[in-house]
């Protein structure tokens, strides 16, 4: 539920999954209204290359009747994982609780689709291992929609 300091921002993007243009509306807080800077306050379910707390530049577009994102101006260092549940066992809430226990923010869109925000301060290696295990077990599939520099494989220690 938006509070009085929240604004809605429309994101227009090309979806590789849909092979078409799509839109998503996200909530943000005003960082600097004069410059049109806003910090994202909810998780993107579809928009690629975007994470919780990223700062975007948005302008009011009359034809849309709302703020429209122009570009990301500051990355938060957080990462976004988008997923789909392939199997009804275990329950999605059970799965998401385990990621929340690891320090992540996790939200479900519906009974099958979910998004996980991995804070910059969280070690991604154990989370990726958990995701890969669930993928091998055909419980879920996932995409690293926005992987911060901190969570990139090149920055991970060799196993």
* Shared domain check, 69 and 134: no
* Shared domain check, 96 and 41: no
Query: Of 74, 101, 123, which residue is a domain's last?
Result: 74
Q: Is residue 1 part of a domain?
A: no
Q: What is d(CA 69, CA 57) in angstroms, rounded to the nearest whole number?
A: 6
Q: How many CB atoms lie within 10 A of CB 6?
A: 15
* Shared domain check, 88 and 56: no
What average pLDDT does range 118-136 have in this prediction?
A: 94
**Which of the four pLDDT bands, split at 50, 70 and 90, describes residue 159?**
very low
Query: Of 40, 58, 74, which residue is a domain's last?
Result: 74
pLDDT greater than 80 at residue 49: yes
Span 75-111, pLDDT tens digits: 999 999 999 999 777 788 988 999 999 999 999 988 8
Q: To which H or E segment does residue 127 belong?
A: helix 124-136
Query: Of 23, 43, 74, which residue is a domain's last?
Result: 74
**Which of the four pLDDT bands, split at 50, 70 and 90, describes residue 152?**
confident
Q: Is 159 exposed, middle or buried (0-12, 13-18, 19+ CB in 10 A)?
A: exposed
CATH number of the domain at 148, please.
3.30.70
What per-residue confidence (pLDDT) applies to 1? 44
Beta bridge partners of 131: none
Q: Which domain holds residue 118?
A: 79-155
Number of domains in the chain: 2
């Amino acid at each position: 539920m938006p509070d009085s300091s929240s604004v809605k921002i429309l994101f227009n993007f090309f979806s590789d999954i849909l092979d078409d243009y799509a839109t998503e509306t996200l909530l943000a807080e005003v960082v600097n209204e004069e410059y049109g800077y806003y910090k994202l306050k909810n998780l993107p379910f579809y928009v690629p290359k975007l994470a919780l707390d990223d700062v975007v530049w948005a302008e009011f577009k009359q034809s849309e009747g709302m703020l429209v994102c122009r570009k990301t101006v500051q990355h938060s260092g957080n990462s976004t994982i988008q997923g789909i549940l392939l199997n009804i066992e275990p329950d999605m809430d059970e799965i998401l609780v385990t990621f929340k226990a690891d320090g992540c923010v996790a939200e479900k869109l519906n009974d099958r689709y979910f998004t996980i925000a991995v804070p910059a301060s969280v070690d991604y290696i154990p989370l990726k291992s958990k995701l890969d295990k669930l993928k091998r077990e055909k419980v879920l599939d996932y995409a690293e929609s926005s992987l911060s520099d901190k969570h990139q494989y090149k920055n991970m220690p060799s196993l």
